[in-house]
């Protein structure tokens, strides 16, 4: 009887792993295709798409596409710009949105339910619909910098960062997470005479790792994939991000697919690195969200 | 030593004075990453212009072509247009109408001898001028045509519709090719109106009625257009050409690999064909479907923005850029057709006996501008969708009628687009 039980368990385990491996293969195929294709000449790459060879390191392999891609476009500049813009926006977003959520959850003030509802309603407005008025606004905004007073934010890093620091989705995520924190912790801290700032910094945020990771990853992906906004507000090559840079490879009728794949491989590295660094916290956040009653 | 220091200081001050006296002109160009030779040539022209005089300094900013028109539109909204911009020929009337550009104010005698497709006019004024043009030809192999008893057409005597249809049927019957004709259906966007509206024009139709540009009625859904639409649909129904699902790889390599007997393609794709087939390669004129053979004309050109405070400087730069030596250099660097016959004689490919000489003649003799109207950018998209739908089996008359309605509605919504 015990033998049968053990067999059943082994079978279940094997089938579970088989499904997981299948799902993993499905998810890894695009990445595998991208990396393998980046090592092949364009003509071979296109021919290989008709078979499984597309996913295998076969044929004439070299790093020539990478060399050509770096000659065609200032890839390092684009990647650094995107990492800088994305990094700063994510940090500021986490700070501002968590503070806003803290105020919504723990601080009593009149009208917060109405304002929170209005905030949530903005989730249904796509950014693209406000880009034109936003463009007109930022083109007239004043700025005082090292070079003195100037009018207009176009062609700067700040115009790519400031409009995206606060967003309703991140605030919502923090609010949902903060609501589930034990109220006793906050009340005890207040009784001990802690200020709201101290409670935010010393009590709430140290407990909020999962939601910080989730909000950071979502914001990172949104910012790293920005295309239309930087296209509208940035004219200088020196401050262009990676997605606009992709246009350097896709404008011709005869697209250099090998170089496109090399470029995509290079610009995917920061995304993977960021995700992998926060993977454990992200998964625990998703898991804990899933079991919440 | 003290004198030397003083002299050096004076020289530095003098140089600084000169630098300050130079007024900066911004130049936007669509070719970022497109072809390194092209970007290098634009840089060369800018550097040599800056060194040639002391009044102006042109500062170049390049954009990916895909993003360029949107970037210009956004900059116009924000009041941040550059002094000099480059513009695709068929888009120029829209930018002139939208007041993104001002008339070039160039002495038109300086444009004598330019290919018609290299000069951008709107409402009777020159707004832009290009250093090159492009042309499309029917690529073929002499040996294939001769083996199958198909006449080799000439500029003077192109294929008639009957000859062309007969040639396709003959080539199909050989069984040696996947398809007798490659139209490049895998390419989308501007390729459709650029490459295929000339067929419609040769049938006697057009995207819009050029008499005032106020309607597409009769031009895009008249008898000639319907005849074109039925012929067009027949190409795909009878497996004469791959349809909209054509593999991009096949478009790029299918002809040289022998999958197609004929390929409707541009001069930019001609050199690999010459390399592969040598003297066997043929670049044939467009067939004459009844109203003369036609190919598309006009490529990228330089113009002056409406908001430029220094149109005289911008004009000086453009006049500097259209010198024959630069027309030749661009042609050699990019493979495109130089804008004048004089410049062509100094090029590698378009001189007498050059591998691509025929493209200059095609451009000179067969090129027709796409509709010169601000509404073209909408009409081009409507035309593209209609042709794709018809190729995929949609009813020809209904599709063309719907396209006409869409174009007319757009013209009406824009109060006729300012045609005088």
- Tell me which DSSP letter residue B221 carries: T
> Do residue B33 and residue A73 have CB atoms under 8 angstroms apart?
yes
pLDDT band at residue B13, thresholds of 50, 70 and 90?
very low
Closest by Cβ to A254, choosing from B65, B71, B252: B252
Closest by Cβ to A235, choosing from B71, B187, B266: B71
Could you read off the pLDDT of B177-197 as tens digits, one per residue? 999 999 999 988 899 999 999
Whole-number pLDDT of residue B345: 92
Residue A16 token pair: 């579970």
Neighbours of B44 (CB within 10 A): 14
Find residue B58's DSSP bridge partners.
B25
- Tell me which DSSP letter residue B188 carries: -
Distance between CA atoms of B1 and B3, rounded to whole angstroms?
5
B38: nearest CA in chain A?
Answer: A72
Asked which of A241-250, B144-153, B231-240, B397-406 is least confident by mean pLDDT, the reply is: A241-250
> Do residue B61 and residue A72 have CB atoms under 8 angstroms apart?
no
Whole-number pLDDT of residue B409: 98
Whole-number pLDDT of residue B4: 44
Residues of B in contact with A251 (CB under 8 A): 33-34, 64-66
Residues of A in contact with B246 (CB under 8 A): none
> Do residue B78 and residue A251 have CB atoms under 8 angstroms apart?
no
Q: Which domains does chain A have, with CATH numbers?
A: 75-245 (1.10.3720.10)
Per-state percent for chain B, helix, strand, coil, to nearest 5 = 50, 15, 35
Distance between CA atoms of B162 and B164, rounded to whole angstroms?
5
Angle between the N-to-C axes of helices A75-106 and A257-291, in degrees from 0 to 180, rounded to the nearest 10 = 20
Stretch A86-91: mean pLDDT: 97
The helix or strand, by DSSP H or E, that contains position B296, with its residue range, turns out to be strand B295-297
A46: nearest CA in chain B?
Answer: B249
Whole-number pLDDT of residue A251: 65
Whole-number pLDDT of residue B10: 44
Whole-number pLDDT of residue A51: 87
For chain A, the three-class secondary structure string (H helix, E strand, C coil) is: CHHHHHHHHHHHHHHHHHHHHHHHHHHHHHHHHHHHHCCCCHHHHHHHCCCHHHHCCCCCCCCHHHHHHHHHCCHHHHHHHHHHHHHHHHHHHHHHHHHHHHHHHHCCCCCHHHHHHHHHHHHHCCHHHHHHHHHHHHCCCEEEECCEEEECCCCCCHHHHHHHCCCHHHHHHHHHHHHCCCHHHHHHHHHCCCCHHHHHHHHHHHHCHHHHHHHHHHHHHHHHCCCHHHHHHCCCHHHCCHHHHCHHHHCCCCCCHHHHHHHHHHHHHHHHHHHHHHHHHHHHHHHHHHHCC
Q: Specify whether the CB–CB gap between B370 and B197 falls below 8 A.
A: yes
Distance between CA atoms of A273 and B347, rounded to whole angstroms?
50
B271 vs B170, higher pLDDT? B170
The separation between the first and the last C-alpha atoms of chain B, rounded to the nearest angstrom, is 71
Q: Does the beta carbon of A236 lie under 8 angstroms from any beta carbon of chain B?
A: yes
Residue A246 token pair: 């992709």
Whole-number pLDDT of residue A68: 93
Whole-number pLDDT of residue A141: 94
Could you read off the pLDDT of B80-91 as tens digits, one per residue? 999 999 999 999
> Do residue A136 and residue B77 have CB atoms under 8 angstroms apart?
yes
As a whole number, the mean pLDDT across chain B is 92
What are the residues whose beta carbons fall under 8 Å from the beta carbon of A44, sequence distance 6 or more? A59, A60
What are the residues whose beta carbons fall under 8 Å from the beta carbon of B144, sequence distance 6 or more? B171, B261
Residue A228 token pair: 């239309």
> Do residue A231 and residue B269 have CB atoms under 8 angstroms apart?
no
Q: What's the gap in Å between the CA of B299 and the closest CA on chain A?
A: 14
Could you read off the pLDDT of A148-166 as tens digits, one per residue? 888 899 999 999 999 999 9
CA A211, A217, A219, A221: dihedral to nearest 10 degrees?
-160
> Which of B31, B25, B128, B24 lies closest to B83 in space, CA to CA?
B25
pLDDT band at residue A252, thresholds of 50, 70 and 90?
low
Stretch A109-135: mean pLDDT: 93
Whole-number pLDDT of residue A46: 80
Which residue do the tokens 């924000």 mark?
B78
CB half-sphere exposure, B229, CA atoms < 13 A = 30
Q: Does the beta carbon of A130 lie under 8 angstroms from any beta carbon of chain B?
A: no
Q: Does the beta carbon of B271 lie under 8 angstroms from any beta carbon of chain A?
A: no
Whole-number pLDDT of residue A293: 32
> Do residue A139 and residue B32 have CB atoms under 8 angstroms apart?
no
Could you read off the pLDDT of B133-157 as tens digits, one per residue? 999 999 999 999 999 999 999 999 9
Show me where the domains of chain B are located.
Answer: 23-134+299-369, 136-295+375-418
pLDDT band at residue B15, thresholds of 50, 70 and 90?
very low
Chains A, B: CB contacts within 8 A come to: 84
Q: What's the gap in Å between the CA of A154 and the closest CA on chain B?
A: 9
Phi, psi dihedral angles at B22 (to 5 degrees): -75, 130
Closest by Cβ to A236, choosing from B61, B74, B191: B61
Q: Which CATH topology does B23-134+299-369 take?
A: D-Maltodextrin-Binding Protein; domain 2 (3.40.190)
Whole-number pLDDT of residue B17: 44
> Do residue A46 and residue B247 have CB atoms under 8 angstroms apart?
yes
Residue A188 token pair: 């005890």
pLDDT at residue B127 is higher than 70: yes
Closest by Cβ to B64, choosing from A47, A236, A244: A244
Residues of B in contact with A71 (CB under 8 A): 36
Closest by Cβ to A139, choosing from B63, B66, B79: B79
Whole-number pLDDT of residue A22: 93
As a whole number, the mean pLDDT across chain A is 90
The SS3 assignment for B190 reads coil
Residues of A in contact with B43 (CB under 8 A): none
> Do residue B78 and residue A139 have CB atoms under 8 angstroms apart?
yes
Whole-number pLDDT of residue A291: 38
Among A114-128, B227-241, B263-277, the range with the most confident prediction by mean pLDDT is: B227-241
> Do residue B74 and residue A231 have CB atoms under 8 angstroms apart?
yes
A233 vs B249, higher pLDDT? A233
pLDDT at residue A7 is higher than 90: no
Q: What's the gap in Å between the CA of B96 and the closest CA on chain A?
A: 20
Whole-number pLDDT of residue B247: 85
pLDDT at residue B249 is higher than 90: no
Distance between CA atoms of B114 and B106, rounded to whole angstroms?
14
Could you read off the pLDDT of B274-304 as tens digits, one per residue? 999 999 999 999 999 999 999 999 899 999 9
> Do residue B33 and residue A47 have CB atoms under 8 angstroms apart?
no
> Do residue B78 and residue A135 have CB atoms under 8 angstroms apart?
yes
**CATH superfamily name and code, B136-295+375-418:** Periplasmic binding protein-like II (3.40.190.10)
What are the residues whose beta carbons fall under 8 Å from the beta carbon of A22, sequence distance 6 or more? none
Could you read off the pLDDT of A183-213 as tens digits, one per residue? 888 999 999 999 999 999 999 999 999 899 9
Please check whether the two domains, B23-134+299-369 and B136-295+375-418, share a CATH topology: yes
Q: Does the beta carbon of B264 lie under 8 angstroms from any beta carbon of chain A?
A: no
């Amino acid at each position: 009887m015990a033998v049968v039980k053990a067999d059943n368990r082994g079978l279940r385990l094997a089938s579970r792993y088989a499904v997981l491996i299948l799902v993993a293969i499905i998810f890894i195929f695009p990445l595998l295709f991208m990396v393998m294709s980046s090592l092949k000449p364009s003509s071979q790459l296109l021919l290989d798409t008709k078979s499984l060879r597309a996913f295998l390191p076969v044929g004439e392999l070299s790093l020539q596409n990478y060399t050509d891609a770096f000659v065609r476009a200032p890839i390092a500049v684009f990647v650094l710009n995107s990492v800088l813009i994305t990094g700063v926006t994510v940090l500021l977003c986490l700070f501002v949105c968590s503070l806003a959520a803290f105020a919504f959850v723990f601080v009593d003030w009149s009208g917060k339910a109405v304002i929170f509802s209005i905030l949530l309603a903005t989730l249904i407005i796509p950014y693209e619909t406000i880009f034109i008025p936003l463009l007109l606004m930022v083109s007239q905004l004043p700025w005082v910098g090292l070079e003195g007073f100037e009018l207009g934010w176009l062609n700067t890093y700040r115009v790519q960062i400031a409009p995206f620091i606060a967003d309703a989705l991140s605030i919502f995520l923090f609010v949902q997470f903060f609501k589930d924190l034990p109220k006793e912790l906050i009340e005890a801290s207040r009784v001990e005479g802690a200020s709201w700032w101290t409670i935010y910094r010393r009590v709430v945020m140290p407990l909020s790792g999962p939601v910080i990771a989730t909000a950071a990853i979502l914001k990172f992906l949104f910012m790293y994939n920005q295309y239309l906004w930087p296209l509208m507000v940035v004219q200088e090559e020196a401050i262009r991000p990676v997605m606009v840079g992709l246009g350097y490879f896709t404008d011709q009728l005869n697209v250099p697919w090998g170089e496109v794949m090399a470029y995509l491989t290079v610009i995917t590295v920061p995304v993977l690195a960021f995700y992998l660094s926060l993977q454990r916290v992200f998964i625990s956040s998703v898991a804990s969200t899933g079991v919440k009653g | 030593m003290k004198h030397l220091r003083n002299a050096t200081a004076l020289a530095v001050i003098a140089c600084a004075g000169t630098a300050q006296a130079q007024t900066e002109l911004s130049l936007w160009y669509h070719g970022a990453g497109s072809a390194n030779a092209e970007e290098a040539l634009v840089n060369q022209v800018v550097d040599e212009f800056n060194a040639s005089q002391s009044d102006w300094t042109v500062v170049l900013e390049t954009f990916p072509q895909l993003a360029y028109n949107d970037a210009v539109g956004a900059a116009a909204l924000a009041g941040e247009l550059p002094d000099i911009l480059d513009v695709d020929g068929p888009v120029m009337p829209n930018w002139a109408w939208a007041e993104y550009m001002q008339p070039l104010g160039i002495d038109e005698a300086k444009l004598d001898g330019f290919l018609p497709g290299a000069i951008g006019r709107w409402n009777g004024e020159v707004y832009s001028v290009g250093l090159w043009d492009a042309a499309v030809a029917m690529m073929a192999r002499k040996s294939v045509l001769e083996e199958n008893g198909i006449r080799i057409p000439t500029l003077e005597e192109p294929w008639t519709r009957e000859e062309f249809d007969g040639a396709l049927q003959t080539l199909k019957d050989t069984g040696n090719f996947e398809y007798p004709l490659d139209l490049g259906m895998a390419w989308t966007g501007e390729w459709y109106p650029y490459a295929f509206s000339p067929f419609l024009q040769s049938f006697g139709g057009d995207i819009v009625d050029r008499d005032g540009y106020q309607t597409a009625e009769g031009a895009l859904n008249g008898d000639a257009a319907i005849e074109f639409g039925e012929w067009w649909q027949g190409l795909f129904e009878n497996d004469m050409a791959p349809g909209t699902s054509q593999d991009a790889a096949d478009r790029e390599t299918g002809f040289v690999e022998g999958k197609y007997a004929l390929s409707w393609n541009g001069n930019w794709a001609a050199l690999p064909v010459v390399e592969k087939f040598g003297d066997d390669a043929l670049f044939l004129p467009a067939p004459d479907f009844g109203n003369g053979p036609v190919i598309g004309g006009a490529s990228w050109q330089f113009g002056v923005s409406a908001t430029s405070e220094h149109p005289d400087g911008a004009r000086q730069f453009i006049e500097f850029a259209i010198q024959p030596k630069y027309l030749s250099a661009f042609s050699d660097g990019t493979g495109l057709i130089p804008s004048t016959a004089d410049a062509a004689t100094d090029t590698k490919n378009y001189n007498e006996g050059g591998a691509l000489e025929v493209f200059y003649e095609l451009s000179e003799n067969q090129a027709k501008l796409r509709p010169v109207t601000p509404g073209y950018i909408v009409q081009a998209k409507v035309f593209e969708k209609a042709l794709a739908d018809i190729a995929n089996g949609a009813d020809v008359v209904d599709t063309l009628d719907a396209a006409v309605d869409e174009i007319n509605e757009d013209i009406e919504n824009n109060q006729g687009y300012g045609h005088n």
